[in-house]
Amino acid sequence: MIKNIFSKTDIERLGQVIDGNKMFVLTCHAGPDGDALGSTLGMAHYLQALGKEAVVIVPDAYPDFLAWMPGSQEIVRFDKYGEKAGLMIAMADVIMAMDYNALSRVDDMGALIEKAKAVKVLVDHHLHPDAFCDISFSYPQLSSTCEVVFRLVMAMGGYDRLTKQACECLYAGVMTDTGNFSYGPCTQELYLIVSMLMQKEINKDRIYNKVFNNYSEGRLRLMGYVLYEKMRVFPEEHAALITLSREEMKRFDFNKGDTEGLVNIPLQMKGIYFSAFLREDTEKDVIRVSLRSQGTFPCNKFAAKYFNGGGHLNASGGQYDGTLQGAIGVFEEALKEFPRP
Ligand code: 5GP
Ligand code: MN
């Protein structure tokens, strides 16, 4: 059995918010990943099955390998259709903040969400959520926001209303946030949840192929280039670093999502427990920082101390205001100074 982890009061409040309202806007963080899209679309399908109007609004583009998700055709992109999205946010009865813990993670959409009169509900698994919602379901100990969504639906007695389409979205989020069940909290109960998703006849192998065996030629060549030419290994520190400039991304016909997962690869090396990826943002003059670790090395503390970021123990991120060279310098110094893995 999947245990209920929520308080009775919270579930009752959520039930009342859903029953008593009509127009739902579901939002996720900028640079949406599998869990961000899976949780917003999964929740949208569930609400639609209850007869509600539910619209997914995302801050900006998402990768092509997620475009198969049922309902993705109806997603409204804020960066493209700001006016329409702004109206929907202003008119919504309920806004759900899915897979993010602070308004800063939704870029310019944040100010509009803050101003909106809607009831705001947070559904997330990132640490230290800001208090910008009326009801908050924040569970950093869970694998993914999709897992939180599934558990909420169960707690509200809504499993029968979960369609195959909803389950495909939720499965995709769990699968991507755990690297196909290879890291993060893959608990016994998570496998029970997977089994309940499979009861709705989702095809998990098809979903795997859609997400992980669907790369462009450019992406694969970029991977080869990065590993052969760009990866630096620091054996003493049990660490590796990959860097990428805008120019290099252009050379490989860079598309949104093409660098996703690159930061995990160096961890496949024997003796490497900490991996960092620094890349120039494709639009803004800022360096994006992704950090991954194995074991107890606290990526989130490293991100917070040197790169104005945070996240989970083994997966975190941040940014650096300056040049790529500058960020590399900060990383090298940090590596000397920070306790080794
Ligand atoms: P990614 O490397 O995939 O961009 O981010 C991995 C994780 O790091 C995210 O799921 C999120 O928890 C965290 N993260 C990324 N960027 C930031 C940031 O700027 N601030 C904070 N607090 N966390 C971040
Ligand atoms: Mn997530």
Q: Report the alpha-carbon distance of residue 273 to residue 229 in Å, rounded.
A: 20
Probe residue for ligand 1, chosen from 105, 290, 306, 316 as the CB with the greatest number of ligand atoms within 8 Å: 316
For ligand 1, atom 15, name the residue with the nearest CA. Answer: 317
Measured in Å, residue 93 CA sits from the centre of ligand 2 at 25
User: Environment class of residue 70 by beta-carbon count within 10 Å: exposed (0-12), middle (13-18) or buried (19+)?
Assistant: middle
The verdict on the CB of residue 309 being under 6 Å from ligand 1 is yes
Q: Report the alpha-carbon distance of residue 286 to residue 306 in Å, rounded.
A: 14
Strand segments (E) across 100-211? 119-124, 135-138
Query: Tokens standing for 52?
Result: 């509600």
From the list 105, 104, 214, 148, the residue with the least C-alpha distance to 11 is 148
For ligand 1, atom 22, name the residue with the nearest CA. Answer: 310
* Structure confidence by residue, pLDDT tens digits, 64-76: 999 999 999 999 9
Q: What contacts 274, CB < 8 A, 6 or more positions away?
A: 237, 238, 239, 240, 291, 292, 293, 294, 297, 299, 302, 341
Q: Residue 191 pLDDT > 80, yes or no? A: yes
CB 266, CB 272: distance < 8 Å: yes
From the list 279, 289, 296, the residue with the least C-alpha distance to 238 is 296
Q: Report the alpha-carbon distance of residue 190 to residue 198 in Å, rounded.
A: 12
Determine the 3-state secondary structure of 26 from DSSP.
Answer: strand
Domains, the chain, ordered by start: 8-212 (3.90.1640.10), 217-337 (3.10.310.30)
* Structure confidence by residue, pLDDT tens digits, 211-267: 999 988 999 999 999 999 999 999 999 999 999 999 999 999 888 888 988 999 999
Q: What contacts 131, CB < 8 A, 6 or more positions away?
A: none
- Summary count for the chain: helices (H), strands (E): 12, 12
Name the residue type at position 21.
N
For ligand 1, atom 6, name the residue with the nearest CA. Answer: 316
Name the residue type at position 285.
D
Task: Give the pTM.
Answer: 0.91
Mean local confidence (pLDDT), 24-42:
97
* Structure confidence by residue, pLDDT tens digits, 289-333: 999 999 999 999 999 999 999 988 899 999 999 999 999 999 999
Q: According to the model, what pLDDT value does residue 253 have? A: 87
Query: b/e for 218-230, b at 16 or more Cβ within 10 A?
Result: ebeebbeebeeeb
**Which ligand does the CA of 279 lie closest to?**
1
Q: How far is CA 212 from CA 129, 171, 204, 314, in A?
A: 30, 14, 12, 21
* Structure confidence by residue, pLDDT tens digits, 138-187: 999 999 999 999 999 999 999 999 999 999 999 999 999 999 998 889 99
From the list 119, 160, 145, 180, the residue with the least C-alpha distance to 42 is 145
User: Environment class of residue 206 by beta-carbon count within 10 Å: exposed (0-12), middle (13-18) or buried (19+)?
Assistant: exposed
